[in-house]
Structure 1
């Protein structure tokens, strides 16, 4: 039987992409909104990945993302002070747009199991995000990559959360929106990986893990699950 459930935060519980899109598009009203949003997320993948690898600090990766975007939009070379001022304004808009997905609260209410979150980010930042959307107190355990020194899909970050909950990985489920980083990473750590695919796209033939398209389906998946092997 599954005895505990771990969750990702961004784009699983909280609509990070919607908030980030609104914040960055508002910053460049004269530019093509679709282009700005697409490049912002592409730069996020590049520079946030370097932050997770320990190559950049959290604030530094944000600064590099906006200076790269500004250069692509022909806005010239931005000094660090200008980039930091832009980031501060962006962060205010981003945080003002944090929202839970509509299926989150009912899912958490129905779970009935110990819960924790595992996130590739700064722990204080993510705890503030959870509090802002009304989830403070829901997760007594928050495992953040910056705090523990490893990032998903490294198996150790999932196992840290299991140890803190005092539950075996084989009796723990992990729910996240990224197939490789979240669901397959959890499976490799011995957990039951569950891929939350909100995209509406057709599922791949064999993703290797259970795929759900809404958290409303999680309870049924957990009820059907048993111990899993790495």
Structure 2
């Protein structure tokens, strides 16, 4: 059972919690492809080949394991490798990545996201906790957050307890006084529980809970938080 009286801070996931991520990624990848088609057509052809793209990403994962938590660096270096293999200028990688990254920040919030952020931020310090590379300043949501902890900067990602503890520490609160909200049963909810936090699993698609240990609360939409924490 949720213990609202213990909650002194909120941590919240971003992708697929506040906005659907795959339409964003698909649009960003198309923008990248169009840019490469105009500036590096051979590399563009590589990215259009699923087998070649898979091989590039596999090689990046094997050769640069230190980047596994940094989605931005992995994307940029994959572009650089494709340019190199295509015999085109690897120095274009940064500019190409910026095209992708700018489009990646053009998100469409779920209808319940903005009211929930307004409600939560009026009552608690809120910390973004993400394995992705969303930029809250560019998206226009930074005013709701006291801090943001990303795996690319911290060096480890969810469900590692250390990143949850870092998020609690960012607002000087012990983990047991934090409620974490997120859509991923393992990375978010179970990760928060193992870090000593309370967990709210956002289950928009009515999926079965896959673990033995259960979160304190399961949500179908963020608006339910008002009744639980109001």
Please indicate, yes or no, whether the TM-score normalized by the shorter chain is above 0.5: yes
Which of 108, 112, 118 is the matching residue for 1:103? 112
Aligned residues: 206
Kept in 1, the 8 Å contact 2:176–2:196? The answer is yes
Structure 1 residue aligned with 2:9:
4
Structure 2 residue aligned with 1:89:
99
Q: Secondary structure at the match of 2:170?
A: helix
The TM-score normalised by the length of structure 1 is: 0.69
Instruction: Verify: 1:211 aligned to 2:224, yes or no.
Output: no
Structure 2 residue aligned with 1:175:
181
> Could you tell me how far 1:183 is from its partner in structure 2?
1.0
Contiguous gaps of at least 5 residues in structure 2: 35-47
Structure 2 residue aligned with 1:21:
26
Contiguous gaps of at least 5 residues in structure 1: 30-35, 71-75, 224-230
Question: Relative to 1, partners in 2 of residues 1:205 and 1:98: Cα closer, same or farther, differing over 3 Å?
Answer: closer
Superposed CA RMSD in Å reads 4.0
Which of 118, 126, 130 is the matching residue for 1:115? 126
Question: Relative to 1, partners in 2 of residues 1:158 and 1:92: Cα closer, same or farther, differing over 3 Å?
Answer: closer
The TM-score normalised by the length of structure 2 is: 0.69
Instruction: Verify: 1:62 aligned to 2:63, yes or no.
Output: no
Structure 2 residue aligned with 1:149:
155
Question: Relative to 1, partners in 2 of residues 1:170 and 1:47: Cα closer, same or farther, differing over 3 Å?
Answer: farther
Q: In the TM superposition, what whole-angstrom CA distance separates every residue of 1:48-77 from its partner, at most 9, and x where no partner exists?
A: 98899624565541146568999xxxxx78
Question: Relative to 1, partners in 2 of residues 1:52 and 1:130: Cα closer, same or farther, differing over 3 Å?
Answer: farther
Larger radius of gyration: 2
